[in-house]
Amino acid sequence: MDLGFVTHAVHANSRLVYLSSSLFSDGHSLQITGPPRPAVYPPGPGWIYVIVDGVPSVGFQVMVGTGNGPPVDDTAWDKCVRFFRFLSALLKLIDSLLRMTVVDQYEASKTKGKKKVNTE
């Protein structure tokens, strides 16, 4: 399970992953196989619990992988940034066009020169 927040009881990124394990012949060592891929449990800190006959152990903090996030695809990131810049410019253009409509000009003219009345 992922580390939680200090101020919240439930972490939005919490996930429960059952791992396969085997007990060594000495009876004191346990081998645990980690998550099969980062989509199941991403690299980073987490907690591991051993459950025997339905009774969980005390949790132990572990580091899955190196703790580093997956590599970033810079080309995809640049496309995303360009798209949001385009979207922002488009929304500004639409806003300016809407402000020039007859209805908006009429609404603006009705409030011109009028003082706001405080009704509280």
CA–CA distance, 116 with 112 (Å, rounded to integer): 10
Q: Are strands 21-23 and 51-52 parallel, antiparallel or unpaired?
A: unpaired
| Residue 93: HSE in the Cβ half-sphere, 13 Å Cα cutoff | 6
Give the tens place of pLDDT for each residue, 58-99: 988 888 888 777 778 899 989 999 999 999 999 999 888 877
Give the tens place of pLDDT for each residue, 31-60: 888 888 878 888 888 888 888 898 988 988
What number is the average pLDDT over the span 15-38? 84
pLDDT at residue 5, as a whole number: 62
Amino acid identity of residue 18, one-letter, is Y
The domain segmentation of the chain, as residue ranges, is 1-70, 74-111
pTM: 0.45
CA angle, corner 70, sides to 64 and 72, nearest 5? 165
| Residue 30: HSE in the Cβ half-sphere, 13 Å Cα cutoff | 11
